């Protein structure tokens, strides 16, 4: 199991290299779900033979009657979650992004068409490095965004992941939150951020020359890029969009129409992803500026 996904390690000792980093997204997910479960007895969790990999081991020990491991059967995990939602539970389904592809039909027919309120927690979303090419979670935005009634969120850091999980309890219908492998950009996590209004992004930096629309931890890279551009006399607005669906149309259009230059940043295939969603929005509103994804 230790060599399922191998990072850099010392050839002499076999021990992995350690760098100073903050808590892993998976750890923050597991801790947040425990906190939510204490407050909401209707919350249950579902996994497909990945309780350790998705951070649900402690939940299973603490709440064995509210924890369901269906084995390597992602389709069944999603259908079971839909049934639990129908019975009055609030399921949180923790599955790797690449594995959720197997349950696409169940998401459409058993969850979205029935408008079941449940949360899909997509671990290992984006580029996952050591897990290998079969585990790259670069398709989920494309295959989830077009499903009716689906809400899709991407946190920029660990604190925002916790806030999105808490906020999703009060949203309607199916909700998908996708987050990457490994440690996040924060050294400390705030588990008590305010609830996030549905479909609202966050303007992190003002600028009149360029608009950078980012999702996930790449938002921090967008801020660094904006600082470099500022040194060259180019002032970029940076938006942490948070929601791929629904987009914060008002904020995106306001900044895009002002700067007339837009760049979108994401860890997903270009076709059908976040950048495509932005292009559709701008096209629908007659945007005449430049866009790069």
User: Can you give the residue ranges of every domain in the chain?
Assistant: 25-178, 202-292
Give mean pLDDT in consecutive 10-residue pieces for the chain, a chain of 293 residues: 63 73 94 98 98 96 98 98 98 98 98 98 91 88 97 98 98 98 93 97 97 98 98 98 98 96 96 97 96 94
Torsion, Cα of 259, 264, 270, 271 (10° steps): -50
Residue 119: closest CA among 73, 64, 161, 61: 161
Sign of CA dihedral 69, 74, 76, 80: positive
Cα distances from 255 to residues 67, 219, 251, in angstroms, run: 44, 16, 6
What CATH class does 202-292 carry? alpha beta
The model's pTM is 0.93
CATH code at 25-178: 3.40.50.970
Task: Check if 25-178 and 202-292 are the same fold.
Answer: yes
| 3-state secondary structure at position 261 | strand
CB-based contact 43:66 (threshold 8 Å): yes
């Amino acid at each position: 199991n230790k060599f399922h996904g191998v990072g850099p390690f010392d050839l002499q000792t076999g021990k992995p290299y350690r760098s100073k980093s903050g808590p892993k997204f998976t750890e923050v997910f597991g801790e947040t779900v425990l906190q939510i479960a204490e407050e909401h007895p209707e919350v249950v969790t579902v996994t497909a033979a990945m309780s350790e990999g998705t951070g649900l081991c402690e939940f299973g020990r603490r709440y064995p009657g509210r924890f369901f491991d269906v084995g390597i059967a992602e389709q069944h995990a999603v259908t079971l979650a839909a049934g639990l939602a129908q019975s009055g539970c609030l399921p949180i389904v923790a599955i790797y992004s690449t594995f959720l592809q197997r349950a696409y039909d169940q998401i459409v027919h058993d969850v979205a068409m029935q408008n079941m309120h449940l949360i899909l927690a997509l671990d290992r979303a984006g580029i996952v490095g050591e897990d290998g090419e079969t585990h790259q979670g670069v398709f989920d935005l494309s295959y989830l965004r077009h499903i009716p009634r689906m809400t899709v969120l991407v946190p920029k850091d660990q604190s925002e992941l916790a806030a999105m999980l808490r906020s999703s309890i009060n949203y309607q219908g199916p909700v998908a939150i996708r987050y990457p492998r490994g440690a996040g950009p924060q050294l400390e996590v705030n588990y008590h951020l305010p609830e996030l209004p549905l479909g609202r992004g966050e303007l992190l930096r003002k600028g009149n020359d360029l608009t950078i629309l980012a999702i996930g931890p790449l938002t921090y890279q967008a801020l660094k890029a904006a600082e470099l551009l500022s040194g060259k006399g180019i002032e970029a607005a940076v938006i942490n969009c948070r929601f791929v669906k629904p987009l914060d149309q008002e904020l995106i259009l306001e900044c895009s129409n002002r700067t007339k230059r837009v760049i979108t940043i994401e860890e997903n295939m270009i076709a059908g992803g976040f950048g495509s969603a932005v292009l559709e929005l701008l096209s629908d509103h007659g945007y005449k500026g430049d866009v790069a994804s």
